[in-house]
């Protein structure tokens, strides 16, 4: 054990490398007054010694996972469940068809690069996907079952189930809710994982990679999940980083009842050295004007960090017309304050649970709490899912301007056809001045297995068509109830030193794991995403060998296409606003070349779109002109 004097010297020495702010932390204008409804409580300084060192010199074998008893924790209040049940019939009554296409106009269409299967869900659901990628190309992807490492070319390096990863006999309860980030300012990984779901077992396991290669091992610290010593336990973490510190937020529960949110403030230099870890926590976060719940840390969106201190955002999980901005103003060794600002926005609220193909079991969408956030150039970008009409879930993407605390947002989805849920956002631009983003999300419908998709939103809030990342292979039926857990997170991370700032994502999709006798569960798909050409509907790239002729036409429409495998294919005629005019064909075509002929019949002259889709992708959106 190091002496106090030696520890202090090491802390100061190592702290020098993080002492210079890399990026500006723009502050709210002096005329913007913080909320006066509460006085947060800062704890006394704490010090926690190193709990264990994780050595990763062995090679885990994911194919030899020993299945443990499955688990799924309580999810949502009675008020939330009633709200969603009330909306379900409205959703069913408004159902149109899963052949509808998104009303996107012009934006960068995501292009998929390296992609591969990663973590499985065998021990429990939801998957709770999280991922990070270093500038050097190491990928860490985690879910509730365990952790895996890959290279940027998709080469598998290592796997550990959580109990094997920590190898700690004192960890006897469930291990869950992993969050992993890459600290590009320090070239290290940081991870938090939770243990236990009651006041006696709750722990917050904080892990710092010993180098920029996660296979070199981790320093692990065990912080209490009951910091107020009031019979509470810690749930739903968020993890972020600034110039000098890391931040962990969570919700404290007493039994199944929410008590309050909490913030852990931790200088990171000691953690990267495996030294005694100083930290403090903030409690007493007010419920006015609405409860402080699920604060999300907004780390810097591109290379480097910002500080001192950090921003957080939160909203009302059951709906409201306000957002809260939180400013932790300084580092722990300075004079930090925790300020809150109330920001007005359009009304939002949860939608009904999602439908899925092949089963009557619904996918639990949870509530509409904020899922993901980052800070860049005076803006906080954040996402969540919310009701976009008739009980349907869509992406709610926001840009909160710090200096005047105003919020601008846009929604994206297909009301009446699909549920879009659990969005995660990352910067997608080469300049901090460009607010363009990529958003990863999950999607399902009564005619679609749970799948992973990605969409681009540019500086003008113009949306691209979403792109299928991984189609679901089956429905999810993991639990004995009629409600299946879905989400609770989708992973996303920017690789900062790639030429175009490429983004990587990790999302869950419906799959069978036959080797582990686990049908109808989740697998994880990891994908690199870059940007393609800027296009509109009529310019969408051809994915298959499809032709529509003659075009323009007076009467007969001929469509040729090649099907590589037999799967359900739908050909739909749409007006230029994306509204379905007529379904021309819905069947499983013969593999190989197919030729179909249609008579335009009583269709009015004008411009239309012909959409050709399968259960796994869009083959073509062709502009068709019908003449008098």
User: Dmax over Cα atoms in the chain, in whole Å?
Assistant: 90
User: Does position 508 have pLDDT exceeding 50, yes or no?
Assistant: yes
Percent of the chain with pLDDT over 90: 69
Lookup: tokens for 232: 């509470």
pLDDT at 581: 79
64 versus 99: which is more confidently predicted? 99
- Residues 10, 1: contact at Cβ < 8 Å? no
User: Does position 78 have pLDDT exceeding 60, yes or no?
Assistant: yes
- Dist. CA 81–CA 376, nearest whole Å: 36
How many CA atoms lie within 13 Å of 432's alpha carbon, on the beta-carbon side?
16
User: Does position 15 have pLDDT exceeding 60, yes or no?
Assistant: no
Query: Phi and psi at residue 216, in whole multiples of 5°?
Result: -75, -10
Question: What integer is the mean pLDDT of 563-589?
Answer: 72
pLDDT at 437: 96
**Model confidence band, residue 106 (pLDDT cutoffs 50, 70, 90):** low
Q: What is the pLDDT of residues 89-105, one digit of tens each?
A: 999 999 887 777 787 66
What's the Cα-to-Cα distance from 603 to each of 550, 575, 585, 586, 597, rounded to whole Å?
Answer: 16, 11, 16, 20, 15
Q: What is the pLDDT of residues 250-281, one digit of tens each?
A: 999 999 899 999 999 999 999 999 999 999 99
Question: What integer is the mean pLDDT of 524-550?
Answer: 64
The kind and range of the H/E element at 598 are strand 592-599
Q: Give domain limits for the chain.
A: 78-114+127-281+291-535, 538-626
User: Does position 404 have pLDDT exceeding 70, yes or no?
Assistant: yes
Q: What is the pLDDT of residues 579-613, one digit of tens each?
A: 777 777 766 676 777 777 766 666 788 888 787 77
Residue of 285, 286, 288, 290 whose CA lies nearest to 321 = 290
* Cα angle 268, 311, 317; round to 5: 115
Q: Is the peptide bond before 518 cis (omega within 30 degrees of 0)?
A: no
User: Does position 623 have pLDDT exceeding 90, yes or no?
Assistant: no
Residue of 181, 159, 316 whose CA lies nearest to 247 = 181
Question: What integer is the mean pLDDT of 65-88?
Answer: 69
Q: What is the pLDDT of residues 186-236, one digit of tens each?
A: 999 999 999 999 999 999 999 999 999 999 999 999 999 999 999 999 999
pLDDT at 71: 47
pLDDT at 620: 57
Q: Considering the domain 538-626, what is its CATH architecture?
A: Sandwich (2.60)
**Model confidence band, residue 564 (pLDDT cutoffs 50, 70, 90):** low
User: Does position 3 have pLDDT exceeding 50, yes or no?
Assistant: no
Q: How far is CA 590 from the centre of its chain?
A: 38
Burial (0-12, 13-18, 19+ Cβ within 10 Å), 74: exposed
- Dist. CA 172–CA 427, nearest whole Å: 39
- Dist. CA 122–CA 146, nearest whole Å: 10
pLDDT at 580: 75
pLDDT at 9: 32
Burial (0-12, 13-18, 19+ Cβ within 10 Å), 482: exposed
> Do the first three CATH levels of 78-114+127-281+291-535 and 538-626 match, i.e. the same topology?
no
392 versus 576: which is more confidently predicted? 392
- Dist. CA 419–CA 442, nearest whole Å: 8
Sign of CA dihedral 581, 585, 588, 591: negative
What's the Cα-to-Cα distance from 194 to each of 116, 163, 250, 575, rounded to whole Å?
Answer: 27, 12, 10, 50
Lookup: tokens for 613: 């889709």
- Residues 443, 418: contact at Cβ < 8 Å? yes
**Model confidence band, residue 542 (pLDDT cutoffs 50, 70, 90):** very low
Q: What is the pLDDT of residues 473-494, one digit of tens each?
A: 999 999 988 899 999 999 999 9
Strands 296-300 and 372-376 turn out to be: parallel
Look up the pTM and report it: 0.82
- Residues 545, 561: contact at Cβ < 8 Å? yes
**Model confidence band, residue 540 (pLDDT cutoffs 50, 70, 90):** very low
The kind and range of the H/E element at 134 are none
Mean pLDDT of the chain: 87
- Residues 251, 186: contact at Cβ < 8 Å? no
What's the Cα-to-Cα distance from 513 to each of 144, 510, 518, 598, rounded to whole Å?
Answer: 16, 10, 5, 42
Q: Going by CATH, does the domain composed of 78-114+127-281+291-535 fall within 2.40.50.140?
A: no
**Model confidence band, residue 406 (pLDDT cutoffs 50, 70, 90):** very high
pLDDT at 560: 79
């Amino acid at each position: 054990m190091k002496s106090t004097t030696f520890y202090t010297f090491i802390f100061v020495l190592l702290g020098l490398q993080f002492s210079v702010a890399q990026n500006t932390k723009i502050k709210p204008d002096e005329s913007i007054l913080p909320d006066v409804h509460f006085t947060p409580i800062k704890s006394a300084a704490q010090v926690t010694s190193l709990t264990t060192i994780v050595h990763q010199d062995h090679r885990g074998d994911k194919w030899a996972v020993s299945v443990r008893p499955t688990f799924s924790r309580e999810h949502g209040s009675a008020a939330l469940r009633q709200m969603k049940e009330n909306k379900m019939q409205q959703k069913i009554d408004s159902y149109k068809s899963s052949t509808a296409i998104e009303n996107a106009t012009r934006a960068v269409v995501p292009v998929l690069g390296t992609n591969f299967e990663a973590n499985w869900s065998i021990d429990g659901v939801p998957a709770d996907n999280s991922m990070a990628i270093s500038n050097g190309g190491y990928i860490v992807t985690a879910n509730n079952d365990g952790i895996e490492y890959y290279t940027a070319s998709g080469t598998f390096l290592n796997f550990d189930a959580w109990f094997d990863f920590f190898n700690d006999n004192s960890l006897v309860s469930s291990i869950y809710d992993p969050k992993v980030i890459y600290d590009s300012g320090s070239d290290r990984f940081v991870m938090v994982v939770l243990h236990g779901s009651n006041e006696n077992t709750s722990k917050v396991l904080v892990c710092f990679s010993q180098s920029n290669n996660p296979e070199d091992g981790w320093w692990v610290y065990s912080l209490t999940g009951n910091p107020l010593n009031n019979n509470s336990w810690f749930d739903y973490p968020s993890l972020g980083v600034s110039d000098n510190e890391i931040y962990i937020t969570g919700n404290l529960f007493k039994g199944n009842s929410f008590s309050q949110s909490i913030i852990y403030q931790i200088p990171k230099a000691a953690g990267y050295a495996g030294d005694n870890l100083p930290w403090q926590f903030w409690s007493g976060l007010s419920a006015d004007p609405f409860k402080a719940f699920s604060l999300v840390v907004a780390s810097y969106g591109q290379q480097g960090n910002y500080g001192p201190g950090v921003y957080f955002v939160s909203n009302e999980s059951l709906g409201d017309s306000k957002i809260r901005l939180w400013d932790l103003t300084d580092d722990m060794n300075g004079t930090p304050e925790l300020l809150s600002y109330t920001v007005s926005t359009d009304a939002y609220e949860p939608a009904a649970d999602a439908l899925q193909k092949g089963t009557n079991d619904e996918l639990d969408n949870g509530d509409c709490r904020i899922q993901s956030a980052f800070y860049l150039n005076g803006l906080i970008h954040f996402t969540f899912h919310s009701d976009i009409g008739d009980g349907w879930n869509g992406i709610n993407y926001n840009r909160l301007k710090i200096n005047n605390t105003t919020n601008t947002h846009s929604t994206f989805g297909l009301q009446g056809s699909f549920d879009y849920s659990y969005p995660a956002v990352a910067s997608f631009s080469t300049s901090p001045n460009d607010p363009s983003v990529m958003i990863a999300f999950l999607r399902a419908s009564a005619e679609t297995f749970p799948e992973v998709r990605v969409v681009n939103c540019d500086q003008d809030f113009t949306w691209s068509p979403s792109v299928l990342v991984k189609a679901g292979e089956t429905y999810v039926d993991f639990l004995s109830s009629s409600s299946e857990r879905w989400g609770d997170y989708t992973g996303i991370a920017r690789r900062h030193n790639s030429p175009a700032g490429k983004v990587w994502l990790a999302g869950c999709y419906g799959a069978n794991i036959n080797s582990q006798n686990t049908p109808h569960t989740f697998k994880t798909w990891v994908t690199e995403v870059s940007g393609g050409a800027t296009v509109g509907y009529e310019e969408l790239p051809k994915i298959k060998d499809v032709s529509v002729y003659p075009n323009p036409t007076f009467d007969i429409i001929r469509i040729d296409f090649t099907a590589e495998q037999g799967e359900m294919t739908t050909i739909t005629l749409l007006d230029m606003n994306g509204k379905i005019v007529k379904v021309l064909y819905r069947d499983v075509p013969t593999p190989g070349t197919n030729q179909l002929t249609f008579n335009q019949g009583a269709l009015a002259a004008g411009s239309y779109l012909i959409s050709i889709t399968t259960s796994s992708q869009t083959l073509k959106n062709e502009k068709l002109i019908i003449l008098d």
